[in-house]
Chains A and B, each alone.
Chain A
């Protein structure tokens, strides 16, 4: 019963009131299948499951049906194999109960719901059966094979189906014969239905974003349980997706990230969002366009483009080659000494400048202390006034730009301040992300 409480929202579960069992109480309950091939193959039961499926509100074009039998049912099933083997039937001639159940029910489900059953479907309907009166049937196995029933942290009972099957394969036939009656005793009632659940596998949405705010973190910024800033890039995008896909939750990932005070320009940073347990999954390209428009209309802090549905595999490509990338930045720089155009021109001529960066003090609390060599491929200066100029930089990925400008207590060498023999500070920073991944998204579209 405990696992019922763990069901997330959007999943559906029911506890049978036992009416199914009592209805047929005057019939003989099969001592092998415990009613699985009796009541639970009837149209009435199939209809009941299908009603739950339809009430769940999921969008689906096919489904995979999974069924879970009580573990002790395996004991009866194997016992019946022994009998059949004595009738000189080979293993291959024996149909497993689960197979038989699926053969019977799949066409019925398919007919009732009007969609095919497909083992690869992302939409899963699962039914869990229990049979309380025979729970102790498999306990004798522990006395014979204690090594198969070791308690584990997140298991409610050591008598899992896997453990029971393992023990059944291990024990000697004569031990089994002694311990378990043949034929098995007759149960009073058929199985009960513990739960009927529907769930949809995750779908993925990808795109690229620009960030135009210097007050917006990429992910929620929370320190000591307190929110530092109201919003975040991931929320501004994902909140709309959650609503439209009617999903339970989301996971945001991106190709790198920017500081809270850094704007992201260029054609945008690739991102992907996993939508967990979505109820709606079918969208026309027009609808996706409208969704993108809706995100873009709701905030001027970010803009999204190339929004599209992608496969899980396509996400992997997003993370590839992150280290080899070259980044383009634009920084507004302040100098303590008055400067003239000629004082900054020399920076334009510097090519592939090697710098040594100690882990910046601002991240040292959570990263190892190291000295990393990075390349400043090229720089271009635009004079603003006596104390300001704009610096455009092309650098190796992983370069800490802010530290390259102010020097981080002399811990990045050389730095703009040391090159110019001034005290330099960085007032604004923009990163331009122009990634080849654009083609990859389109390719998988």
Chain B
């Protein structure tokens, strides 16, 4: 497993910021549910919609990992695939708390990771493409490899990200992790 913090996948510099940087704010949650390095990244659009993704430092994205399967079945009688929303007001959506599980990722090394919502809101959709082709989760974690789309309540559109880390705070977490690793090494 790589010990160096992963720099985001570098793409040839476009003249303008990327799609994600133009319209979204990146928020992070480190060590989700107390599990070391299981960091999530939440992309919040200026229209309050949140896209739940894996942060670059998540174990699943480290070199050498192979995803065997992904499951949106989070308990015996609840599958995120059953989520249906209808109409402008998105009736029928499953409600998610910060801790609500979205999916489970099973890796070939026997490890199993649970991805959480990290924000309160209603589930709009989950990404079914990663079920058929789990590799896109690793290739494009912050675009095509997203996990789910969550719509926070209008009145909570600012407060849902209150407990999350900013880009800078996240980078500080990565730096102190790197220091800790090199100190023990």
Q: Mark A75-114, 1 if CB is under 8 A from B, else 0.
A: 0000000000000000000000000000000000000000
Interface centre among A366, A406, A425 (most CB of B within 10 A): A425
Residues of A whose CB lies within 8 Å of any CB of B are 334, 336-338, 358, 361-369, 387, 406-407, 409-410, 423, 425, 427
B23 contacts A362, C-beta separation under 8 Å: yes
Given the interface pairs A409-B143, A409-B146, A410-B129, the reply to whether A364 lies near B49 with Cβ below 8 Å is yes
A364 contacts B151, C-beta separation under 8 Å: yes
Q: Which of B22-65 contact A (CB under 8 A)?
A: 23, 45, 47-49, 51
Known A-B contacts: A334-B14, A409-B146, A423-B11. Give 6 more (CB < 8 A).
Answer: A362-B45, A362-B47, A406-B19, A407-B143, A425-B16, A425-B18
A407 contacts B14, C-beta separation under 8 Å: no
B15: CB under 8 A from chain A?
yes
A407 contacts B144, C-beta separation under 8 Å: yes
CA distance A287 to B11 in the complex (A): 57
Return chain B residues, CB-CB under 8 Å to A362: 23, 45, 47
Return chain A residues, CB-CB under 8 Å to B49: 361, 364-365
Closest A residue to B144 by beta carbon equals A410
Closest A residue to B17 by beta carbon equals A425
A365 contacts B144, C-beta separation under 8 Å: no
Q: How far is the CB of A226 from the nearest CB of chain B, in Å?
A: 13
Contact of A368 among B11, B86, B144, B149 (CB under 8 A): B86
B149 contacts A336, C-beta separation under 8 Å: no
Return chain A residues, CB-CB under 8 Å to B90: 368-369
Q: Which of B83-104 contact A (CB under 8 A)?
A: 85-88, 90
B-side interface size class: 20 to 34
CA distance A2 to B72 in the complex (A): 62
B124: CB under 8 A from chain A?
yes
Residues of B whose CB lies within 8 Å of any CB of A are 11-12, 14-16, 18-19, 23, 45, 47-49, 51, 85-88, 90, 124-125, 127, 129, 136, 140, 143-144, 146, 149, 151
Closest B residue to A367 by beta carbon equals B88
Return chain A residues, CB-CB under 8 Å to B18: 425
B144 contacts A364, C-beta separation under 8 Å: no
Contact of A336 among B11, B125, B136 (CB under 8 A): B11
CA distance A98 to B139 in the complex (A): 82
A334 contacts B15, C-beta separation under 8 Å: yes
Q: How far is the CB of A116 from the nearest CB of chain B, in Å?
A: 51
A425 contacts B86, C-beta separation under 8 Å: no
CA distance A369 to B129 in the complex (A): 17
Given the interface pairs A410-B129, A427-B15, A427-B16, the reply to whether A361 lies near B45 with Cβ below 8 Å is yes
Contact of B14 among A338, A387, A410 (CB under 8 A): A387
Return chain B residues, CB-CB under 8 Å to A337: 12
Contact of A369 among B14, B125, B144 (CB under 8 A): B125
Return chain A residues, CB-CB under 8 Å to B15: 334, 427
Closest B residue to A365 by beta carbon equals B47
Return chain B residues, CB-CB under 8 Å to A425: 14, 16, 18-19
Closest A residue to B18 by beta carbon equals A425
CA distance A338 to B88 in the complex (A): 41
Given the interface pairs A368-B87, A425-B19, the reply to whether A409 lies near B48 with Cβ below 8 Å is no
CA distance A364 to B49 in the complex (A): 8
9 smallest A-B Cβ distances: which pairs?
Answer: A410-B144, A336-B11, A365-B47, A334-B14, A406-B19, A368-B87, A336-B12, A369-B85, A409-B143
Closest B residue to A366 by beta carbon equals B88
Return chain B residues, CB-CB under 8 Å to A338: 12
Return chain A residues, CB-CB under 8 Å to B11: 336, 423
Return chain A residues, CB-CB under 8 Å to B144: 407, 409-410
Return chain A residues, CB-CB under 8 Å to B136: 410
Closest A residue to B19 by beta carbon equals A406
Return chain A residues, CB-CB under 8 Å to B140: 410, 423
Closest A residue to B142 by beta carbon equals A409
In the assembled complex, 7 residue pairs joining A and B whose CB atoms fall closer than 8 Å, in A order, are A362-B47, A364-B151, A366-B88, A368-B90, A406-B19, A410-B146, A427-B14
CA distance A368 to B136 in the complex (A): 27
CA distance A5 to B87 in the complex (A): 41
Contact of B149 among A361, A367, A387, A406 (CB under 8 A): A361
Closest B residue to A335 by beta carbon equals B12
CA distance A334 to B14 in the complex (A): 7
Return chain B residues, CB-CB under 8 Å to A406: 19
Return chain A residues, CB-CB under 8 Å to B23: 362
Closest A residue to B146 by beta carbon equals A409
CA distance A363 to B45 in the complex (A): 10
Return chain B residues, CB-CB under 8 Å to A365: 47-49, 151
B124 contacts A364, C-beta separation under 8 Å: yes
Q: How far is the CB of B29 from the nearest CB of chain A, in Å?
A: 20
Return chain B residues, CB-CB under 8 Å to A334: 14-16
